[in-house]
Amino acid sequence: MFNYDNAFSRNIGWVTPAEQAIISTKKIAIAGMGGVGGEHLTTLARLGFQHFHIADFDEFEEHNFNRQAGAFTDTINQPKAAVMADITSKINPQAHIHNFAQGVTAENVDDFLLGVDVYVDSLDFFAMEAREMIFRACTQKSIPIVTAAPLGMGCALLTFLPGKMDFDDYFGFSSSHHKSDKLLKFMVGLAPSLLQTKYLVMPEKADFHSETGPSLAVAIKLCAGIAQSTVLKIVLERGEIVCAPKGFHVDAYLNKAVTTYCPFGYKGWLQRLKLIIAKKVVLK
């Protein structure tokens, strides 16, 4: 028979028994069960979190094998969210997982965020409409947002906390009406340091127009560790949290870790300059 305390006993030391008990009660929402999402879910489950709202309407395909936690030969054409829910239940049979199998929509976003303590953004980079909708709902409900972008062989972390700079003041989505403009703002805002651009050996593979880009498993794993460390700090209310207008970018290829700072968000002159350059390079 499954014993929660024994299953996660090796966490004790880095967290106290009382903190582990707190972890066991917290509810985490994750939209997107593909690249980073599946890894986020299993990492959280191994930390002892056991209350989840997950969402994804997509199915696993062969080209997901290089990086996605639920992609196996026997899961091709199977729903990503259902597969990841099953994997998580094998880590913790007591886990409560509410699967929003049709994804997050305007009709169910309130249910998706009901009782949630932290939202971990795992949507595809190009899913801007859904991302903006969920971010806005989280902001209205004072739910912390953690987003970790797998870039090259690194991770760019952004965290939005209630009472601090919110996502729209940072990215400026509401001031743009075209998806391409919002995507560019998201790209520049995610990683102001642009570390990943220094070693992309085939830039043509990052195709903004066809909404495709390269991604590595090493970056996915880094994102899970860094994002879930932040989730832990939020729910346990200890440790310094790097939150907007600051970000945290770690790159294993360059052996660098950088704390970024954009005090004026997208309105800052340097961010505006980067956006102008990005438009010329990406939309050419």
* Predicted confidence (pLDDT) per residue in 35-75, tens digit: 899 999 999 999 999 999 999 999 999 999 999 999 999 99
Any domain includes 3:
no
Distance, in Å, from the CA atom of 82 to the CA atom of 115, rounded to the nearest integer, reads 21
Q: In degrees rounded to 5, what are phi and psi of residue 132?
A: -60, -40
- As for how many domains the chain has, the answer is 1
CATH of the domain at 263: 3.40.50.720
| 156 pLDDT above the threshold of 70 | yes
Q: Is residue 1 part of a domain?
A: no
- Average pLDDT on 81-102 reads 98
121 φ, ψ (degrees, to nearest 5): -75, 120
Is 6 contained in some domain?
A: no
Span 68-96, average pLDDT:
98
Measured CA to CA, the distance from residue 247 to residue 255 in angstroms comes to 17
Of 38-47, 182-191, 244-253, give the lowest mean pLDDT range: 182-191
Q: Considering the domain boundaries, does residue 173 fall inside one?
A: yes
Rg (alpha carbons) of the chain, rounded to whole number: 18
For residue 8, is it within any domain? Answer: no
User: In which domain, by residue range, is 74 found?
Assistant: 14-282
Chain-wide mean pLDDT for the chain?
95
CA-based torsion, 129, 134, 137, 138: positive or negative: negative
Asked if residue 204 belongs to a domain, the reply is yes
What is the reported pLDDT for 283? 60
Residue 63 lies in a domain: yes
pTM for this entry: 0.96
pLDDT tens digits, one per residue of 170-181: 999 998 888 888
**What stretches of 172-216 show up as alpha helix (H) in DSSP?**
179-190
3-state secondary structure of 237: coil
- Examine residue 119 and state whether it is found in any structural domain, yes or no: yes
Q: What pLDDT score does 205 carry?
A: 87
